[in-house]
Amino acid sequence: MNIKSISLLVVLSTLLLVQSCSALYFELNGGTTKCFIEENPKDTLLVGNYVLEDLNPQAGISTPLALSVIVTDPENHEVLSKQMGASGRFAFQTLIGGEYKICISTNSSKWFGPTIKTRLHLDIQVGANANDYEEIAKVEQLNNLEISVKRLNDRVTQVRKEQSYQKAREITFRNTSESTNSRVMWWAILQVVVLCLTGMWQMRHLKSFFKAKKLV
Amino acid sequence: MIRQTLLLAVVLCLAVVNVNALTMQIEPKTQECFYEYVENGKTSIILYQVIRGGLLDIDVRIYDPQGNTIFSRLHFDTTMKGRQSFTAATSGAYKLCFNNEMSRFTAKVVTFTWSFEDADNSFVKGDALSPMEQSVQKIERVLQSIVMEQKRMRFREQTNRDTSENTNARVVRWTIIQVLVLVSMGVGQIWYLRRWFDSKSTQRV
């Protein structure tokens, strides 16, 4: 078999693969932004793979599809801002633990056409799942068992990281609860004091008022 | 260019073997729908949870490729468990919709996972497995359930923390309002009483 037929075979088989599988997808119209929230502990790798499908391909002049991804960290700083083509991948490492917002939008309508309707196949993997183990196995020449154990190792480390993140959050939660608890008491005491003071002021004022009017 | 796209599509396919999870905010009076291609006979397991927003309620619907509703429920996260599985009768794109149209002001944050029942994620596969490989497989399965449970607990903790912070803010806000109302009532009473006496004595009270 010559190179040409091999490459044709490869192309056909990949086409078949594409046909038979598609990640979770949703409709994304031109100009709209869809945001996803990902909450992660720090030092976590987040990888997003996507394929953008044009639902109404128009013959003739067509602006190529572009996807814009903007990721903001829990303190509202921009971590990643990329413009990519019809399919691609974006990745970032979390520096602080918390909620990350991933906002995705396509380019808005072509100059004189109707709004672009697209279908976005999106797959976001976090932490240990974000590593490409097939690649690692090839590079480091590990057999099936070894790569499985390596993956287990990474996943268990992720579980531990998540647990320490949870512990820190639980501390914040407990502080908030205790603060609420003491606040309820102090503010109620303040209320009672204000009530008494208002009552006393009222009586004193009335007494002096009636004395002035010579009614008492 | 075409080759790159195909290559990326293949990478995406490989990545799909893992569980698909997304968290999204659904604005009031809108609905968000997600599609997944399911083959005939495969069982899908959909886990969903409302993390934030009002009564933690959302309308969940699943449609088959022909548009018929195979599942519809008003889900309350405080009392119900968000888990639904179905077996695909036909191959096609199944649609999962989260509907927040019954809410007028509150946005809801919903997280969901779409996985397949018999998805074998491990590297060690086959019938003749050595005891070591069997152990590894067992550990992988258990670890998967640990990760899922941890995720669920994290979302619960987030919901509880939101409630707690909300309570805290409410206590302060409403106490201040109460004090202001109290003081203004006191002053108002005195002023009103004085008015009776300040007006001409011939005028009736």
Range of the domain at A83: 20-143
Q: What span, in angstroms and rounded, lies between the C-alpha atoms of A89 and B12? A: 9
CB contact under 8 A, A172 and B140: no
- Cα distance between residue B25 and residue A103, in whole Å: 11
pLDDT at A86 over 50: yes
* Strand, coil or helix: A142: coil
In this complex, the residue of B33, B175, B190 whose CB is nearest that of residue A202 is: B190
Pairing label, strands B43-52, B31-38: unpaired
| ipTM of the shown complex | 0.75
Q: Are residues A28 and A98 in the same domain?
A: yes
> Of A114, A158, A22, which Cα lies nearest the Cα of B147?
A158
Q: Is A58 among the domain residues?
A: yes
Count of domains observed in chain A: 2
Specify if A162 maps to a domain.
no
> How far, in Å, are A72, B173, B181, B183 from residue B176 at the CA level?
35, 5, 9, 11
pLDDT at B11 over 80: no
Position B7 confidence tier, pLDDT thresholds 50, 70, 90: very low
Q: Is the CB of A152 less than 8 angstroms away from the CB of B136?
A: yes
Whether residue B132 is predicted with pLDDT greater than 80 in this model: the reply is yes
**Would A3 be classed as within a structural domain?**
no
How far is it, in rounded angstroms, from Cα A100 to Cα A37?
6
Closest CA to A91 of A42, A138, A125: A125
Q: How far is B79 from chain A (nearest CA, A)?
A: 22
Q: Which amino acid is at B104?
A: R
pLDDT digits (tens, 9 = 90+) for A159-169: 999 999 999 98
> Mean pLDDT over residues A164-190, rounded?
90
- Whether A128 and A193 share a structural domain: no
* Residues of chain A contacting residue B197, judged by C-beta atoms under 8 Å apart: 209, 213, 215
Burial of A116 (0-12, 13-18, 19+ CB in 10 A): buried
8 A C-beta contact, residue A42 and residue A105: no
Cα atoms in the Cβ-side hemisphere of radius 13 Å centred on B126: 9
Backbone angles phi, psi at A207, to 5 degrees: -60, -45
Residue with tokens 């019954």: B102
pLDDT digits (tens, 9 = 90+) for B140-158: 889 988 988 898 888 888 8
**Closest-CA residue to B148 (of B197, B200, B81, B198):** B81
Within-domain flag for A178: no
CB contacts < 8 Å between A and B, how many?
A: 174
Neighbours of B171 (CB within 10 A): 18
Same domain, A37 and A103: yes
Residues A44, A119: one domain? yes
Q: Is 50 exceeded by the pLDDT of residue A44? A: yes
Residue A191 to residue B11, Cβ atoms within 8 A = no
Of the three residues A84, A115, A143, the one that is the final residue of a domain is A143
Same structural domain, A135 and A197: no
User: Does any domain span residue A163?
Assistant: no
Instruction: Decide if pLDDT at B83 tops 50.
Output: yes
- Angle among Cα B71, B13, B112 to the nearest 5 degrees reads 35
- Work out the angle between the directed axes of helices B2-16 and A3-20 (0-180°, nearest 10): 50
- Summarize pLDDT for A103-119 with one digit per residue, the tens: 998 876 555 566 777 88
> Mind telling me how many Å the CA of B11 is from chain A's nearest CA?
8
Q: Is A176's CB within 8 Å of B165's CB? A: yes
List the single residue in A with minimal CA-CA distance to B201: A213
Provide the pLDDT for residue A107: 74
CB B178 within 8 A of CB A191: yes
Domain B2-160, CATH among 2.60.120.380, 3.10.310.30, 3.40.50.261, 2.60.120.10: 2.60.120.380
Residue B49 burial (10 A CB sphere; 0-12, 13-18, 19+):
buried
- Tell the residue number behind the tokens 């519809």, with chain if given: B72
pLDDT at B108: 93
Domain boundaries, chain B: 2-160
Q: Using CA of residue A115, residue A116, residue A122, residue A126, what is the dihedral sign?
A: negative
